[in-house]
A and B are shown apart, each in its own frame.
Chain A
Amino acid sequence: MKALEVKDIKKTYADKVAGKKVEALKGISFDIEKGQIFGLLGPNGAGKTTLIASITTLEKPTSGELLVFGDSVIESPLKTKMKVGVVHQEVINTGFFTIEEILDFQSGYYGIHRNHERCDYLMHKLSLYEHRNKKVKQLSGGMKRRLMIAKALVHTPKLLLLDEPTAGVDVGLRESLWKFVQELKNEGMSILLTTHYLEEAEQMCDGVAIINKGQLLFNGTPKDMIADYSQKKLILIMKNGETKEYIESNKVGIGELLTKYDIDIAEIQDIKIEEGRLEDAFSKMVSL
């Protein structure tokens, strides 16, 4: 069974300031397999957050279908909400409650009473336990991010939505968060994430979808995306000491290159290949 099925989702809303209708999502479709980490990538304003808001019912799509483990988000929202955990893009800033109280309330929202074991586990795992009696306003930005992840996980969701979870987070914390996300995947959780750190998306994601201005530009594996949209640099070091550089499509092999430029293989001393990156492919795709 698929963790998430996004079928031809469209979202149109009225921009009261501009006095016109805006198409935030123009028929987006993709699937996430169970146990996958899936990256939803796109520049700012592409429609990523609108799509996540639609999955969590904060927004209602104008048309299309969203299925979470086979259940419709639109027809059975209470059922799908139980299966989804979400880390919103903007950090929480509640001034009243401590970390421990917030996790207790969050458990209660999902019908779980006295969820101490799970909450303690998450607080330990996310290095929040020693701060459990602190109010949110006393926490650093990184701790607030970790608290948001803990909140999203109190009910052990089957699908975790991470909307730019590492925005504004330092390198060390980012690494530890991604490591934790990888652990969640190993436990069988399916994860949809949005991020601007494409290098990390390339390393972590089993599948990616690229959206720009509400349109789906690509849906596949990071490897396919790199192959289709980025270029590699081939550096040939000749026996006579000369260095030749060629920038070619990732699909072009060495043999083709040598034929194309009429190079005798016997004259080559060494070959270096700089593979294309997801970042290059992404830049090329969104600028098309």
Chain B
Amino acid sequence: MIIFYTLVKREIKRFLKVVIQTVVSPIISSFLYLLVFGVSLGASVKLNNGINYLSFLIPGLMVMGLINNAFQNSSSSVVTSKFSGDLEDIRVAPIPNSYIIWAMGLGGVFRGSLVAVITGVVGSLFHYMQLNELLYVSHPIWLLYFFAVGGLIFAFLGIFVAVLANTFDQLSAFSTFILLPLTYLGGVFISIENLHPIWQAISKLNPLFYLINGFRYSMLGQADVNLSIAVGVSLVGVLVTFFMAQFALTKGSFARW
């Protein structure tokens, strides 16, 4: 237990040491998204399901903050450790791989949730100022669930990519060519009801679509997918990404960059 506690403490202390870069910077991005898309452009966007666009956007931005920061937390932890040699210390200590994965997963959930919650609070302020009403959470327990699984999936994915990556280019290529399109096409900014049926079908192949909509259901009480499907897909996501991270730690290279 002490070993696991130490790993989690290290993960959290690490990102809090550079809080401007790890927490403040993504919150500023979310703030700008809210201001530009939610408040300015959002006023002219009409959704088929009758939800105000700002209300629709806030959960999407929260998930985006959660998953991006969970991914970045674990991947940067691995990469900086490869540079500094810290990873060698962890690898030569009597630490099972599962401890490393769960500790980095929790670190990712913690940082991602911190960014998402602050984004939600800022979003709620905008919501109150624009609509004169507070944004309530419809299903708080499901919200906590999606915070946990969303953070874990992307933190585990971050370990997988960062351990197997041999250069910064490979790491950023994953973010740019896979993570970013999946996030944007997963329904952060749009409801698939407004899309052409072909794009609707393609969106349904995106696992992130279920996570974002599960989160949106927890906040607003309605979303583009059924809750049970979102829960099922996200649970499978946790299992798959956990084993991917396990595979990377077993087979990957720990050579210094």
Q: Give the residues from 106 to 151 in chain A that come closer than 8 angstroms, CB to CB, to chain B.
A: 106-113, 136, 151
Q: Using A90-B85, A92-B84, A93-B84 as known contacts, say yes or no to A108 and B2 having CB atoms under 8 A apart.
A: yes
Interfacial chain B residues near A92, Cβ < 8 Å: 84-86, 89
Task: Encode A76-105 as 1/0 by CB contact (under 8 A) with B.
Answer: 011101101010101111111100010011
With an 8 A cutoff between CB atoms, is A249 at the interface?
Answer: no
Interfacial chain A residues near B84, Cβ < 8 Å: 92-95, 136
Cβ of B92 and Cβ of A86 under 8 Å apart? yes
Instruction: Report the Cα distance A90→B256, complex, angstroms.
Output: 9
Which of B9-17, B119-127, B228-236 makes up part of the contact surface? B9-17
Instruction: Report the Cα distance A108→B94, complex, angstroms.
Output: 10
Q: Using A93-B83, A96-B18, A101-B13 as known contacts, say yes or no to A111 and B3 having CB atoms under 8 A apart.
A: yes
With an 8 A cutoff between CB atoms, is B44 at the interface?
Answer: no
Interfacial chain B residues near A94, Cβ < 8 Å: 80-81, 84-86
With an 8 A cutoff between CB atoms, is A56 at the interface?
Answer: yes
Nearest-CB residue, chain A, relative to B95: A109
Interfacial chain A residues near B6, Cβ < 8 Å: 104-105, 107-109
Q: Chain B interface secondary structure, helix, strand, loop or mixed?
A: helix
Cβ of A111 and Cβ of B14 under 8 Å apart? no
Q: Using A58-B91, A90-B85 as known contacts, say yes or no to A78 and B96 having CB atoms under 8 A apart.
A: yes
Instruction: Report the Cα distance A81→B96, complex, angstroms.
Output: 11
Q: Give the residues from 7 to 32 in chain A that come closer than 8 angstroms, CB to CB, to chain B.
A: none
Cβ of B14 and Cβ of A96 under 8 Å apart? yes
Q: In the assembled complex, how far is the CB of residue B2 from the closest CB belonging to chain A, in whole angstroms?
A: 5
Instruction: Report the Cα distance A86→B93, complex, angstroms.
Output: 10
With an 8 A cutoff between CB atoms, is A57 at the interface?
Answer: yes
Cβ of B2 and Cβ of A111 under 8 Å apart? yes
With an 8 A cutoff between CB atoms, is B102 at the interface?
Answer: no
Q: In the assembled complex, how far is the CB of residue B95 from the closest CB belonging to chain A, in whole angstroms?
A: 6
Instruction: Report the Cα distance A108→B13, complex, angstroms.
Output: 14
Task: Encode A44-59 as 1/0 by CB contact (under 8 A) with B.
Answer: 0000000000001110
Task: Encode B1-42 as 1/0 by CB contact (under 8 A) with A.
Answer: 011011101100110011000000000000000000000000
Kindly identify which residue among B13, B18, B91 contacts A57, using a CB–CB cutoff of 8 Å: B91
Most chain A CB inside 10 Å of its own CB: which residue of B9, B18, B92, B256? B92
Cβ of B85 and Cβ of A88 under 8 Å apart? yes
Interfacial chain A residues near B5, Cβ < 8 Å: 108
Instruction: Report the Cα distance A77→B83, complex, angstroms.
Output: 25
Cβ of B85 and Cβ of A91 under 8 Å apart? yes
Kindly identify which residue among A56, A101, A111 contacts B92, using a CB–CB cutoff of 8 Å: A56
Q: Using A92-B84, A112-B2 as known contacts, say yes or no to A82 and B94 having CB atoms under 8 A apart.
A: yes
Cβ of B3 and Cβ of A109 under 8 Å apart? yes
Q: In the assembled complex, how far is the CB of residue A225 from the closest CB belonging to chain B, in whole angstroms?
A: 30
Q: In the assembled complex, how far is the CB of residue A112 from the closest CB belonging to chain B, in whole angstroms?
A: 7
Kindly identify which residue among A57, A84, A95, A151 contacts B89, using a CB–CB cutoff of 8 Å: A151
Instruction: Report the Cα distance A33→B91, complex, angstroms.
Output: 26
Q: In the assembled complex, how far is the CB of residue B31 from the closest CB belonging to chain A, in whole angstroms?
A: 27
Q: In the assembled complex, how far is the CB of residue B39 from the closest CB belonging to chain A, in whole angstroms?
A: 37
Interfacial chain A residues near B89, Cβ < 8 Å: 92, 106, 109, 151
Q: In the assembled complex, how far is the CB of residue B77 from the closest CB belonging to chain A, in whole angstroms?
A: 10
Cβ of A108 and Cβ of B3 under 8 Å apart? yes
With an 8 A cutoff between CB atoms, is B90 at the interface?
Answer: yes
Nearest-CB residue, chain B, relative to A115: B2
Instruction: Report the Cα distance A107→B94, complex, angstroms.
Output: 11
Cβ of B254 and Cβ of A58 under 8 Å apart? yes
Interfacial chain B residues near A151, Cβ < 8 Å: 89
Nearest-CB residue, chain A, relative to B4: A108
Q: Top 7 nearest A-B pairs by Cβ distance?
A: A108-B6, A109-B93, A94-B84, A81-B94, A56-B92, A78-B94, A92-B85
What are 7 A-B residue pairs whose CB atoms fall within 8 Å in the complex? A56-B92, A88-B85, A97-B17, A101-B13, A109-B7, A110-B3, A110-B94
B-to-A contact residues, CB < 8 Å? 2-3, 5-7, 9-10, 13-14, 17-18, 80-81, 83-86, 88-96, 254, 256
A-to-B contact residues, CB < 8 Å? 56-58, 77-79, 81-82, 84, 86, 88, 90-97, 101, 104-113, 136, 151
